[in-house]
Structures are given as structure tokens and as C-alpha cells.
Chains A and B, each alone.
Chain A
């Protein structure tokens, strides 16, 4: 199972084994990682699962669609590395991924 490290804004690290096929958001929620809310439950409708994916990992993640980009307009402190975690499916390729969380989600 791919190992993924979620790093909270305060630096606290959560290294977890996340099942392939679920989203990065579900992986964080079911492992109770603080800092990812996932209010809409993964519908790409709320911008509360905003994360930063390091540039060198972006190509391994599924590409952001137009809706995701428009919803990211609502997120807090968006950068070029911003993604919605509900839109990234965990695959074997993401083993070792480090995901940084923003200071707030709403």
C-alpha cells in the first residue's frame, strides 16, 4: 500500500499507508489527519480539502480539471502547487508522496 506523508501547517507529520483507489482526501479523513475537512464529501464542491503537492510529484497525480481549478479560487492561500485532495486518486505511483496542508481550509 502506498505510504503517504501528510504534513500539517504546524509541521506535524502523519505518515500513513493509504489504500490504492481512494482519494488523498479520504485517506486523510479516515486517518483523522487534522487540517483536511472534506465538507462536501468529495464532490469537488467545497474547497476544504485544499493541499499542496510538491512540483516534482504533480505529474504523478491525475491532472486537475476545470471544475477543480474554479473551486480552488475559493480556497485559502492557493499557490501553483495547490490541488483538491478529493480529486487525486491514490495509486502505487504516489508511494512516498508528501502532502502539505494549508493553514486553514475555509
Chain B
């Protein structure tokens, strides 16, 4: 470089940054050693050739490198240049991505461009990989069936997934930057703030659903939402982020209530029936027995898990009679699934006197005809007979 003092020329030649000089027509008139290392081309292969040898035009892009250099020469570091890299190619034909910076100067009345090239291929790829991995995980989080949100130390919401939108009724753009107290019912907000602060201050990294009881949230329209939540703490440098997975348990609680109500209704029916009833396993063990049936068994106190025929149905019978009666009852029970229905009129030698019982055994099967239970019923006809 005749226009640069020899000492400076040596420094530029050995710079670790790839530096080249081109004229206004785009011809390379100087390259330093780092350019040779970066591109694989030797100085003699490059000098006199067009700069597009290193950054070729593409049918896919409107812009060629010389236009690019001209555009930015007078404005070597505008904010756009942080994001605009160029396609390059090295001697063995491998495509590279170059971050290019340019300034212009005049030498012997001719315009020159001083160009610095950095190979950012790997950096760009790493950044894309990270971006794509984040996209994948974001999409997984988005379709998750639990609401996910993140708050910072000042309890401001920083992340909000689609399910959280559905649970609480707020869209992402409405809720980001808002305080978590927006989601807590009035009156519980101070307590919640304290709990969050305690979690921030303690040494526990995560607290899972089930380790804490039900919590309550409030929907945008004001209704209270029963929730379960897991929470995890992440410290990134001096920031603490708390992320929560929130499960709306409204449907589960409703199902539990329906089940409970159903149980109450059926128990009312079963317990208050005039008929004695017992639900037996397919081999004759008592699962449930109602009040009317228990009253026929005044001397027994434990009924469940005993064979129905072993209950004390005949307190005043002779041992021989009892054995015969037991054997008959057992035979009817164990064979009930072959008979569809057993209905008998039996006499019980009850301690209050002889009882005349209309007794039936009904096999209960599921939809695949598999035996489920046996229903034993007994209607006391004694009073009816007397009248």
C-alpha cells in the first residue's frame, strides 16, 4: 500500500481482522493476511478481481455487494447494520455469512472503500438454533393444558401462554406488564403477595401441585376460579423470575360435587327404603347393606366383607335348621348368574318372631355381560299377611 507508511502497512497486513480495500468499480486492490485466512484465497488470486468473488450476487436478493458498500460507506455503523449480514463464499465453495463494515476514503482523487469482514456463520447459526429451539418450546408451552405464567421480583407478569388466556380471560397484550394481583381475588391479594415473597426468600427451588392446597384466582369477568399451581424459581444474574403452571380445577370440582350429590341421593334412597337391600360381590360377600336389612339382623354388628349366608338371619333356629337354610341361601347366591333372578318366599326365625319375607336375588351385569354385583332384596310381608 503505497499510500500508507511502511510501518502502518505492516500493522494492517497482520491485523487479526480481515481488511480489504476496493476501488469504486469494486475491484480488490488490497487484502491483508486475515482475508486470506478467512476466504482461503491467496492475495494474488484476489487482487484485481471483483469483490463479488467473495460476496457473490444471488438470484434471490435484489442487492449486490457493491451497492451495499456504496450505501453504507458514509454511515459505517448505523443501527441497521447490527442485523444485516451478507452472503459470502470461500475458495472451496462453502457458503458463509459475513458481517461487513465499510468506510470510504479518497486516494489519488479516486474513491476507495475500506472494508472489514467478519465471518459470523457459526454465530448466526447458533442464534437461529436457539431461536428455533425457543419456538418449539414456546409452541409446546402454548398448547399445554395448563396455564403458564412468569412474574418477576416485583410480581409483574412477564410471560403468559394461551391456556392462561383461556383460564383468566386476559390476552397476552392486556396482561404483560401488569401485577399478578390482578389475578388474585380481592382480600387474598396481600396474603398472596406475602406467600410469593416467602417463596422468593426461601431456598426451595420448586413447589409442586399437591404440595399446597387449592388456590383461588379471579377471571377478567370477576368470577372466582379454583386452581392448583406449581411454582419454580429461576435466578438469572440478579433477577429472580417465578414461573407457575396453573391448572383450572373448576371441572374437576364440579365432577366431584356431582359425584358427591349423586352418592347422597342414592344413599338416601338405599338407606330409607322399606325393603331390606344388600349389594353383594359376585361371590356373595356383603359390600353394602341398608338399614331395613340390618334391622332383620339385630344380633350382628359387622356386615361388610362377610358372606351373605353367614349373617345371622336365623337367630332362633336350631343348629340343624340354620345349616340347611344357610346351604340353600348359598346355593342360590353362587348360582344366581345362571338363573337371571331368584325369587322366594322365606320364613326367617327372627328374635321378634317368625318373619315372612319376599326374598329376591338379582344378578347385576355390566354392558359386556360381565357379572358385577348381586342385589339381595327382602320385603317383610308379615304385617301385610296379618292384615
How many residues on A have C-beta within 8 angstroms of the other chain's C-beta atoms?
23
Residues in B with CB closer than 8 Å to A70 are 71
Most buried by A among B62, B71, B135: B62
A19–B82 touching, CB < 8 Å: no
A39 B139 Cβ-Cβ under 8 A: no
> Does A74 make an interface contact (CB < 8 A)?
yes
Kindly provide the distance from the CB of A57 to the nearest chain B CB, expressed in whole angstroms.
22
Which residues on the B side are within 8 Å of A40 (C-beta)? 79-80, 82-83
Return chain A residues, CB-CB under 8 Å to B336.
none
- Bound-state CA distance A76–B84 (Å) is 12
Q: Is the CB of B135 within 8 A of A74?
A: no
Chain A residues positioned under 8 Å from B131 (CB to CB): 37
Let me know if A88 is at the binding interface, CB within 8 A: no
Q: A residues 19-72 with Cβ under 8 Å of B?
A: 19, 22, 30, 32, 34, 37, 39-40, 43, 45-48, 70-72
> A32-B135, A32-B138 given as contacts; is B79 within 8 A of A43 (CB)?
yes
Q: In the complex, which residues of chain B have a beta carbon less than 8 angstroms from the beta carbon of A34? A: 132, 135
Known: A19-B173, A37-B131. A71 touches B80 (CB 8 A): yes
Question: Quick check: A45 and B62 within 8 Å, CB to CB?
Answer: no
Known A30-B172, A106-B85, A106-B124: A77·B60 in contact at CB below 8 Å: yes
A78 within 8 A of B: yes
In contact, A32 and B139 (Cβ under 8 angstroms): yes
* Complex-state Cα separation, A46 to B139, whole angstroms: 24
A46 and B62 form a contact (CB under 8 A): no
Q: Which residues of A contact B124 (CB under 8 A)?
A: 106
Q: Of residues B60, B83, B85, which shows the largest number of chain A Cβ atoms within 10 Å of its Cβ?
A: B83
Verify B172–A47 contact, CB threshold 8 A.
no
Q: A32-B138, A45-B82 are in contact. List 9 more A-B contacts (CB 8 A).
A: A30-B172, A40-B83, A72-B62, A73-B62, A74-B61, A75-B61, A78-B61, A78-B62, A106-B128
| 15 cross-chain CB contacts under 8 A | A37-B131, A40-B79, A40-B82, A43-B79, A45-B80, A45-B83, A46-B84, A47-B83, A48-B83, A71-B84, A72-B62, A73-B61, A73-B63, A74-B61, A74-B63
